[in-house]
Amino acid sequence: MTPAVSLNTATVKQWTLAQCIEGCARHGIPGISPWRDVLQEMGVDAAARRIRDAGLRVTGLCRGGMFPAADAAGRAAAIEDNRRAIAEAAALGADCLVMVCGGLPPGSKDLPGARAMVREGLEAILPEARAAGVTLALEPLHPMTCADRSVLSTLKQALDLCDALGDGVGVAVDVYHVWWDPELAAQMARAKGRIAAFHVCDWKVPTTDLVFDRGMPGEGVIDIPAIRAMAEAAGWRGGVEVEVLSRAVWAMDPEEVLKRVKAAGALC
């Protein structure tokens, strides 16, 4: 069976959210996962209405997190922003709010401290997420991003946090970030019932930019079908979210990109 595909809006930065919604409808892509910048540009209520009218499933809202900060005011501001993100995810009826937890505060070398800030931030917002019925999907990011984007690097770390935090928290599995992990199979099995999102793109060889040179599924070395099979064995039944941060893809005709997103369902 071809899985339901979802368009992560960061894949077509050339387009507004309205254009992405129309594009999904036109190309028969049944899901969408907006980033908050394009969502806010369109207006949350208008976007929720248009997405509903188009019959699209919202596989996630990108993103909350970014908890660590140099001082208490910075950490409080991050928590406030996460509260707004929870409200936005609830308004969209999103499957989850994807959490990119944040790196070290500028100038800091205190990695355990940053990890503690992530946990404290999640603890602070969890009651609201639970009340709103929004699952917080912890997305471990490749360790190359540990300094600036995510001190949460492995699926094991993410699941340990899920265990500690309890209900209302799951994981976002992005093949780009976890494919290299020797513990992947064991941790995917451990994730049973807790995979809230599944993101696909590919690892190109060579990779020329550590953030913006991801490949379309099939262009690189990740065995995406194998990881997807692990996700299904762990009970995941969501949409395959195509999230390709790539300057090359952003330079393409978006209509062509959406054709390839649609086709990715068969490859993944």
Q: Residues in the site for Zn ion, rule: CB under 5 A?
A: 174, 199, 243
C-alpha 31/C-alpha 199 separation (Å) is 12
Q: Which is nearer to Zn ion, 117 or 141 (CB)?
A: 141
Q: Which is nearer to Zn ion, 36 or 199 (CB)?
A: 199
Q: Which is nearer to Zn ion, 39 or 75 (CB)?
A: 39
Q: Which is nearer to Zn ion, 78 or 173 (CB)?
A: 173
C-alpha 262/C-alpha 259 separation (Å) is 5
Question: Taking the complex as a whole, how short is the minimal distance between the CB of residue 62 and Zn ion, in angstroms?
Answer: 7
Whether 194 and 237 have beta carbons less than 8 Å apart is answered as no
Question: Taking the complex as a whole, how short is the minimal distance between the CB of residue 63 and Zn ion, in angstroms?
Answer: 8
HSE, CB side, 13 Å, CA atoms: give it for residue 50: 19
Give DSSP secondary structure letters for 35-49.
BHHHHHHH-HHHHHH
Question: Taking the complex as a whole, how short is the minimal distance between the CB of residue 240 and Zn ion, in angstroms?
Answer: 12
Whether 100 and 65 have beta carbons less than 8 Å apart is answered as yes
Question: Taking the complex as a whole, how short is the minimal distance between the CB of residue 74 and Zn ion, in angstroms?
Answer: 24
Question: Taking the complex as a whole, how short is the minimal distance between the CB of residue 7 and Zn ion, in angstroms?
Answer: 13
Report the candidate in 95, 101, 104 with the shortest Cα–Cα distance to residue 238: 95
Q: Which two tokens stand for residue 169?
A: 């928290």
Residues with Cβ within 8 Å of 55's Cβ and at least 6 positions away in sequence, in order, are 25, 30
Q: Which is nearer to Zn ion, 88 or 243 (CB)?
A: 243
